[in-house]
């Protein structure tokens, strides 16, 4: 069997491609805008929500800081910083979705792997670290605002907040995060095998 | 320029994908990626090389993301008639055998052979895949031999 003949035969094979180029073009514009819109909208809403929260913290501090300890302002400032850090991570994650497809394939896979490892680290490490810091800031805040309250209130409020924060974290870890990690791990394994074979 | 290479892109999708029912979706995805990247084309590489690079990279990502639906299709049966076949039928049968043989290659070999079948030079294939230009010739020769052997095996089966 002659390879050149196979090649000619392969190139001459009848293929059914969408014929109307203009409709493809319009479809692509649509798809692209849809993709962009969904991620952007979600990020913009979160950003607006966080900015509203930070403004609210400012208002709480300005209106009620007299008569409170340093923990009051410190905890509000700390929570604001945490929200800003989270926003930075969120927008960085958005940028990570854009892989450059014009690189050569080895470089492209290598870059994709780096990004996947970063996303994995964000889920496994950053989530916990962030929640613990947020919890600590809330505890500082509660320590201050519950001063003078009954013992049950001073113990109950932080306890309910703690159970809520860590409860949500555990549930998310066992459901959504587990699924996300499984998907990322599959992609990492697959791309690593391909990269190894390309380098062999 | 995309239109000039559209048939080649489509054939790459067909050769590379495990699940042939996804060919149209991948083809659309590749066009979308090219469309999105048009601004970044600086003219450093030939436009066809640049387009095929996007096609291959998009196909790699697509295949990895659709791993759950990945499977090797049952080989299509090539007609082996007792009577002499017409030229058209013979070509069709050969094409079926070729597709089945490509389906049995490993993922990376599929990428390379799909580019070879599009008549790209060794230099272009090395540039697209990021392989060493000195080794790519040996690699292609090995894949071609494997492919022809797989096709011969189908004839004996």
User: What are the pLDDT digits (tens) for A180-196?
Assistant: 899 889 889 989 998 98
A-to-B residue pairs, Cβ atoms closer than 8 angstroms: 115
DSSP H helices in chain B: 2-16, 23-37, 47-65, 87-103, 107-117, 122-129, 133-156
The pLDDT mean for chain A works out to: 86
Residues contacting residue B88 through CB under 8 Å, at least 6 positions apart:
none
Domain boundary assignment for chain B: 1-71, 83-157
Question: Residue A130 has what pLDDT?
Answer: 84
Query: Considering CB atoms only, which of B31, B36, B130 is closest to A104?
Result: B130
Whether A107 has its CB under 8 Å from any CB of chain B: the answer is yes
Whether A80 has its CB under 8 Å from any CB of chain B: the answer is no
Q: What is the DSSP letter of A2?
A: -
Q: Judge whether B1-71 and B83-157 match in fold.
A: no
Residues 25-44 of A with CB under 8 A from B: 25, 27-28, 31-32
Residues contacting residue A108 through CB under 8 Å, at least 6 positions apart:
A99, A100, A101, B57, B60, B130
User: What are the pLDDT digits (tens) for A62-75?
Assistant: 998 888 888 899 99
Measured between beta carbons, which residues in chain B are less than 8 angstroms from residue A6?
94, 98, 117
The pTM assigned to this predicted structure is 0.77
pLDDT string in tens for chain B (157-residue length): 777 888 899 999 989 887 778 888 898 889 888 888 888 888 877 888 999 999 999 999 998 888 765 555 555 555 555 555 677 788 888 888 999 999 999 999 999 999 999 999 999 999 999 998 888 999 999 999 999 999 888 776 6
Domain formed by B1-71, architecture: Orthogonal Bundle (1.10)
CATH among 2.60.40, 1.10.10, 1.10.760, 3.40.50 for B83-157:
1.10.10
């Amino acid at each position: 069997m002659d390879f050149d003949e196979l090649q000619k035969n392969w190139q001459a094979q009848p293929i059914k491609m969408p014929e109307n180029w203009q409709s493809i073009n319009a479809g692509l514009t649509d798809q692209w805008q849809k993709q962009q819109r969904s991620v952007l909208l979600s990020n913009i809403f979160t950003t607006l929500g966080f900015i509203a929260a930070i403004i609210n913290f400012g208002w709480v501090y300005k209106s009620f800081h007299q008569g409170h300890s340093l923990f009051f302002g410190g905890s509000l400032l700390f929570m604001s910083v945490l929200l800003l850090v989270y926003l930075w991570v969120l927008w960085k994650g958005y940028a990570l979705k854009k892989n450059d497809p014009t690189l050569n394939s080895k470089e492209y896979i290598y870059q994709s792997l780096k990004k996947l490892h970063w996303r994995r680290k964000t889920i496994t490490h950053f989530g916990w670290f962030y929640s613990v810091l947020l919890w600590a800031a809330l505890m500082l805040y509660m320590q201050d605002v519950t001063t003078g309250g009954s013992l049950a209130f001073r113990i109950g409020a932080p306890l309910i907040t703690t159970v809520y924060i860590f409860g949500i974290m555990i549930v998310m870890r066992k459901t959504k995060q587990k699924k996300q990690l499984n998907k990322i791990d599959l992609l990492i394994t697959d791309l690593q095998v391909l990269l190894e074979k390309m380098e062999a | 320029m995309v239109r000039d290479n559209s048939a080649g892109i489509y054939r790459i999708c067909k050769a590379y994908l495990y699940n042939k029912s996804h060919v149209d979706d991948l083809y659309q995805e590749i066009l979308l990626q090219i469309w999105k990247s048009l601004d970044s084309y600086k003219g450093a590489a030939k436009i066809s090389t640049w387009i095929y690079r996007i096609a291959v990279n998009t196909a790699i990502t697509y295949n990895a993301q659709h791993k759950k639906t990945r499977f090797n299709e049952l080989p299509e049966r090539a007609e082996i008639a007792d009577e002499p076949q017409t030229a058209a039928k013979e070509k069709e049968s050969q094409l079926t055998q070729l597709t089945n043989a490509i389906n049995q290659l490993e993922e990376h070999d599929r990428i390379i052979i799909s580019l070879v079948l599009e008549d790209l030079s060794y230099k272009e294939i090395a540039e697209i895949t990021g392989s060493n230009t000195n080794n790519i010739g040996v690699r292609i020769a090995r894949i071609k031999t494997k492919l022809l052997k797989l096709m011969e095996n189908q004839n004996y089966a």
